[in-house]
Structures are given as C-alpha cells and as structure tokens.
Structure 1
C-alpha cells in the first residue's frame, strides 16, 4: 500500500472516535498492552511526560514540547485529534527546525507490520496510533516524549507509560457518557494517570475535585503539586499578537514577564501549569533554564505547529479559529470575545451530536449573527437540527452545508471592525480552508 491507501485502511478499518463516538472507545488497556508487547515495549525506551485534562492539555503539551526542544532535547509529541493531516498527531524534533511530523513511509511500514495483529485483536484507531507513536519515538531516539491522553486517563490507551511527571490541566463537564456525570467522577478518571511515587502537577482545582486528587496521590505515594498555589498571573496585555503575562511566584519578590505567541487569555492558566511542570522537571535533573523557557514560549506555534487556539487567520474583519467545543472551553472563549475590541460579532458554529449542545447554546450572546453548519463526519449534528435548537434559545441565523460556505458569507457581510469566530468542534475548525 502507498501512503494514501494506508490512511484509507486505518480510517475505514478501525473504529474511530471522531467518526462514531463512544462506540470506538475501548474501556480497558488490554489491546494497547498487546500492541506494546508485539513491538517490544517501545514506551519503556524513552522518558515521558503524561498530560490529561478536560481543556488545555493540547496547549500545555505543545508548550512543554517547545521548551524541551529549545533546551536541546530530542523531543517527541503525541496529541489528538488532528486538525487537517493525520501526521500532526506524532511529531519529533528535527535539528533546529522545530518538531516535524512523522514520515509517510514510517506510517506505511508500521501499518504493514502491525496488520496481522490488527486482524487478531481488532483494536481501535486510537490504540493503533498510540502504538505507532511509541514505535516512532523509539526509532527516532527521542530523549523525552510529551504524551497527551485521548479521553479520560485511567483507561486511556496512553496510560501504559511510567512518566517523569504526570500533569492534569483541569476538570470540566465533557464526555459524561463515558467518564461520568459529575466533576468528581470525571476527576477520578483523569486521576488514573497518577502513578506510584511519580510527582503530579494539577493545573486548576475545584472544591469538587481537589479531594479526589489528594486521595489518589496519597494512595500512590505521589507528590502532589497544585500549580495555582505556587504562581499566579497578576496582569496581562496584548501586543503585536502576543499575550504578555506578569507572573507572581510564591516566596519570590520580583515578578516575571512572559511573552506567549498563543494569544488566548485562557492560556494564562496553561502557562501557570507549564511553569510548575518545568520546575518539577528541573528537580529531576532536566536542564530547563529560565532563558530557554522564555524563548520557547514566544514561538510555540513555530516550533510545534500548534493551531486552532484563538488562531487569527484574517484581518479586517478579524477571523479567529478556536477549537473550543465544551462548556468550559466555550465559556473561556466568550470571556475572550468580551475583552476583544470589535463592532459586530459573527459566530460560525457546529457541534458533534454527543455534546451538551443546549447548555452551550444557552451561553451564547443573543446579539450576534449566527451561521450554523456541520463538519463532514458522521458524528456531526446536522445544521438544520442545530438551527432549530438554537432558535429555542433566542439565537437567530442561517444554516450552511459546510464551514467554508458559512465563512465566505460571513466575510462578505462583515464590516472591517467586525469579529468572526469559528468554533464548536475540532473537526469543524480543521475543515476551514485558509487562503
């Protein structure tokens, strides 16, 4: 098979969460363990940082990967889902150029190698991509790999690593049909990445979740570090498409200034999580100097290829892509919109069927122009259904067959001082054609 045929095989043959939802989720680690055994345990051949959380884990993963790369370590990065190209999920340091995507040839060769096992155990798409990432990182000789969970933590396919550090960014209401219908239950699933005697950083705590993390950490003899107790973002501003943040640190008189090329104000929390993670990793002997951290945070997008986080793709009118897709993510996006100068607001949105769509729609402002659309995946809620649901919340707009038609219309009618947001689904944002 060539590369295109291989991708078609992987997408069509294996159950894929982005397409069919919970039916693709395997609630145990048996297949992943078998895959890793067949590959001679590649995940044990390099160091890792393991990252879970409802929101922010992608940004935190990319920031840490940028920092390790800038510090001179050969760095692997595994994240999901991809926006446009499958190869975005698996990246490795390439000299001074930043992290480069996995090669097409490796994907072809790996798939041929693993085909007999696929026929035997019928794994999910995610289980196979995790094995592929581990194998690629070993073959590439990485010093460390930043591993983002797919869903949850305890039973996530990535949870076969024994990391240098575990990180849980935050807990919110998402994937309740799989992870549980309360913050405590969801926290319990995410806390499943906490390992025996391995330090864990918690980015953001809530009254409902702190006791869950404390109990799990105590049971595992894992040192627990709450990032928001050690540092706080005390001020911020935007300048030249950068987020400039003033950070106060416990027991330190002078504040530090950080420049981020990720301008979303929700990155304030992620920055605090990253800084505490770096501090704990330094204690384990990793040479992550302050100067390197500052340098890397100014060029996360350049070094890692991260997109879709308050991603400004057009000016006059301003067009922003953001992968916010659950209640917490949308709430943070709306907070960002409130502090962004604009005249009229145009919201292009679409969701997958298993999201709490009515709760999210109830949060949206009534005075925006709405463009209801859908991603080209089976899980997508039809735009006509979304329009009908939105009208029940006093939101008015039109339905569109795809995001690019909606975006074209929005740009055509928007004034130069208007703000156009595309949000609601990673898959919807991924389909935007950037000219």
Structure 2
C-alpha cells in the first residue's frame, strides 16, 4: 500500500474516537496489552514521562520534550490528536515519523490487527512505542489520549507522572462528576513514581492526595513550588515571571507560546523537569530556559494561540471545552480591535450550552463545521447559538467561513478561529 492507502485503511478500518466518538472508545486495556505482548513490550526499552489532564497536556508535553531535546537527548514525543498530518502524533526530536515507517508497520502487522480489531488509538500507541524502541530514544514524553486509567498509554512506568488540571470534558465517557473524572485521570499515578499536579483545585485535591498516598507516590502541586508573578507578551514571545518558593528568588522565563493560559503549563513543565533532573536526567537550567523559548521550533507545536496573519489579525486556538474557551475569551478581551469576527464550529458530543454561554455577544459569527463525522451541523449550531444572542451566517466548510470572515474584515479587525480542535486543524 502507498502511504495514502495506508492512512485510508487506518481511518476506515479502525474505529477512531476523533472522527466517530464514543463508538471507538474501549473501556479496557485488553487490546493494548495484547499488542504490547505481540511487540515484546517495546515501552520497557526507553524511559518515559506521562502527561494527563483536561487542558494543557499537549502544551506541557511539547514543553518538556523541547527542554529534553535541548539537553542533548534523543526524545520521543507521542501526542494526539493530529491537526494536519497523522505523523504529527509520533515525533523524535521534533521530526515526524517517516511515511515509510507507517506503511511498513501496517503492512507487516496487518494480519494481527485484523485478528485483534484494535481501535485507531490502540494501534497508534503500539506504533509509537515500537518506533521509539527501534529508534532507541533515550526518553519519550507520552500524552494521554482520553482519561487516564483505561487509556492505551497507561501501560508505561514513567519517571514522573503529570496531571495538568481537571474540568468537565468527555463526560459521556468519563462521567459528569468532577471527582469521578479526577479519579480516571489519577489512574496514571504509579506506585512510588512522583506526580506533579499542575493546578490546585479544591474539589479534586483530596482525590489526588488519597491516590498518591495509597500508591506511595510523592505528590507535588506546581503552585506550591513556583508562584506566578507577571506575564508580558512581546513580538513573538511571552515573558513569564515566577517566584521560587523554595529558593526564594525570582525566575524569569521567555516562552514562544503566546496564550496567557500557558503560564500554568510552563510552571507545570518546569516542575516535571526538576523531578527528572532529581532522578539523574542531565538537564541544566540553561537547557530549561533555552528549551522553553523555542518550543514551537523544537517540536512543531501548532494551534495554541497561533497568529496566522496580521492586518486583520487572525488567531486560532484549539481550546474546546468550557475551561479552555473561558481562557481564550479572556485573552481576546485584552486585544485592541475594531470588530471581532469568530469562525466557530463544535463537535456534537460536547456540552454546547456551557460553551455557547461563554462566547462574546458583540462578535459576528461564521458558523461552520470541520470535515469529520462528529462535527455539529453548522445550521444546528447557529440555531443553538441564537438562544445566547450569538448571531451570524452558516458555511458548510471551514475554508469558506474563514474566507468570508476575511472578506468582511478591515485591517483593524480581529478574526478568531476555534471552538473545536478540528476546525483549527483546517486553518493552520
């Protein structure tokens, strides 16, 4: 098969959560363990960092990977979903897995896949771990796909576990109770493996403490280590200032991720890196400063408060649940513009009311849908949005919606593209 034929096989033959939703979710690790045994446990051949959480886990994963690369290590990075190219999910030192490696993996093991009938995600995790083992990476940063306890990545025994934060997302799979969701995410906490919690949240703090105590895991809340002081965005950079509560000194970080919410992710990444350093991973503070200033360059991270053009300013962001949208709207409010146009689409298994209630009423909307089966129909979205006094036209493709927004914008205006990761995927 060619690379495109291989992708077609993967996307059509293997149930894929990002495209079809709940039907693709496997509430057990049976296939993952069977594939792991078949490939002779490749994840045991390299060190790992495991990152879970509702929001920010992708940014934290890329941040940690960038610093590890600057430290001279051969670093695997597994993330999901991809935006433009499937191969974004599997990288070594910022370079995507080759097309030939993907083709060969499917061709050589197709019979086993047809026997086990794994989901798309289960197969992709097996591909990543096998690739990292064959390429002899020193360490891999592994982002959880969904939840934690039953996620296919949760067979690893990392040097450090990270949980960024908890909010309601994927409630149809993880439950509608915030403590239940926290318990699922806390499933990545391993016996005697330190865990870094990105945000102290009153409702779930005790959940993490109890599970960490039960598993004799040292638990660290990032804000107990670094207190946030200030952030300033300059051209292409964000200058962050923290106060080290342990060293009693100010720490200044220059970061190329421009979202104001990144201060939490950067702090979490630094705490995780310090845990790795304490276990003998050769990381200097110069590596940390350098790596965090070049995350996009080193890892190819896309879609996080990404400026696509100026005059008019076009910005996209993959934040897609209430907590993420709230951060985005707050940052939009900090920008000077004449008129705000929003290219907006959602998936149909989200809590649309909660998200729509947060969206600015003084914007003009270009309702659209991404080209995936899970996308909410743009006319239905327009109808739901009207209940919250959000007004605009509908467009059947993201490209049409963005072109219309640009045509109706002056250079002093701002266009925001988002609502769904998959909407952003079509513009970056």
Where on the TM-score scale, by shorter chain, does this alignment land: which range?
over 0.9
Deviation at 1:298, TM superposition (A): 1.1
Aligned pairs for 1:35-74 within 5 A: 35-74=35-74
Aligned pairs for 1:138-157 within 5 A: 138-157=133-152
Moved more, 286-295 or 338-347: 338-347
Deviation at 1:294, TM superposition (A): 0.6
Give the 4+ runs in structure 1 shifted more than 4 A.
none
Q: Which runs of 5+ in 2 are unaligned?
A: none
SS state at 2:43 partner: helix
Deviation at 1:341, TM superposition (A): 2.1
The equivalent position to 1:371 in structure 2, one of 360, 366, 369, is: 366
SS state at 2:147 partner: coil
- In 1, the alpha carbon distance for the partners of 2:284 and 2:247 equals 17
- In 2, the alpha carbon distance for the partners of 1:135 and 1:379 equals 30
Cα shift readout 1:36-65 (whole Å, capped 9, x = no counterpart): 110010000000000000000000000001
SS state at 1:135 partner: helix
TM superposition score normalised by structure 1: 0.97
- In 2, the alpha carbon distance for the partners of 1:361 and 1:9 equals 36
Deviation at 1:187, TM superposition (A): 0.3
- In 2, the alpha carbon distance for the partners of 1:160 and 1:424 equals 32
Q: Which residue of 2 aligns with 1:104?
A: 99
SS state at 1:209 partner: helix
Q: Which residue of 1 aligns with 2:115?
A: 120
Cα shift readout 1:312-356 (whole Å, capped 9, x = no counterpart): 010011000100110001001011111122221111110100001
Moved more, 35-44 or 107-116: 107-116
Q: Which runs of 5+ in 1 are unaligned?
A: 94-98
- In 2, the alpha carbon distance for the partners of 1:280 and 1:227 equals 11
The equivalent position to 1:168 in structure 2, one of 163, 170, 173, is: 163
Deviation at 1:287, TM superposition (A): 1.4
Q: Which residue of 1 aligns with 2:282?
A: 287
Q: Which residue of 1 aligns with 2:153?
A: 158
Cα shift readout 1:355-395 (whole Å, capped 9, x = no counterpart): 01111101111111111000011110000000000001111
Mapped pair 1:271 → 2:266: yes
- In 1, the alpha carbon distance for the partners of 2:269 and 2:124 equals 26
- In 1, the alpha carbon distance for the partners of 2:246 and 2:76 equals 34
Mapped pair 1:383 → 2:378: yes
- In 2, the alpha carbon distance for the partners of 1:130 and 1:264 equals 29
Deviation at 1:252, TM superposition (A): 2.5
- In 2, the alpha carbon distance for the partners of 1:142 and 1:313 equals 33
The equivalent position to 2:330 in structure 1, one of 326, 331, 335, is: 335
Q: How many residues align?
A: 428
- In 2, the alpha carbon distance for the partners of 1:288 and 1:247 equals 19
- In 2, the alpha carbon distance for the partners of 1:251 and 1:198 equals 21
Deviation at 1:172, TM superposition (A): 0.6
- In 1, the alpha carbon distance for the partners of 2:48 and 2:412 equals 45
- In 1, the alpha carbon distance for the partners of 2:99 and 2:361 equals 46
The equivalent position to 2:125 in structure 1, one of 130, 133, 142, is: 130
- In 2, the alpha carbon distance for the partners of 1:390 and 1:277 equals 40
- In 1, the alpha carbon distance for the partners of 2:249 and 2:217 equals 31
Mapped pair 1:317 → 2:298: no
Q: Which residue of 2 aligns with 1:96?
A: none
Aligned pairs for 1:77-92 within 5 A: 77-92=77-92
SS state at 2:249 partner: coil
Q: Which residue of 2 aligns with 1:183?
A: 178
Q: Which residue of 1 aligns with 2:19?
A: 19
For the aligned residue pairs, the C-alpha RMSD in angstroms reads: 0.8
Q: Which residue of 2 aligns with 1:5?
A: 5
- In 2, the alpha carbon distance for the partners of 1:136 and 1:245 equals 36
Q: Which residue of 2 aligns with 1:216?
A: 211
SS state at 2:202 partner: coil
- In 2, the alpha carbon distance for the partners of 1:55 and 1:417 equals 31
SS state at 1:51 partner: strand
Q: Which residue of 2 aligns with 1:346?
A: 341
The equivalent position to 2:296 in structure 1, one of 301, 308, 333, is: 301
Deviation at 1:2, TM superposition (A): 1.5
Q: Which residue of 1 aligns with 2:220?
A: 225
Mapped pair 1:192 → 2:187: yes
The equivalent position to 1:396 in structure 2, one of 366, 377, 391, is: 391
- In 2, the alpha carbon distance for the partners of 1:142 and 1:400 equals 45
- In 1, the alpha carbon distance for the partners of 2:27 and 2:246 equals 44
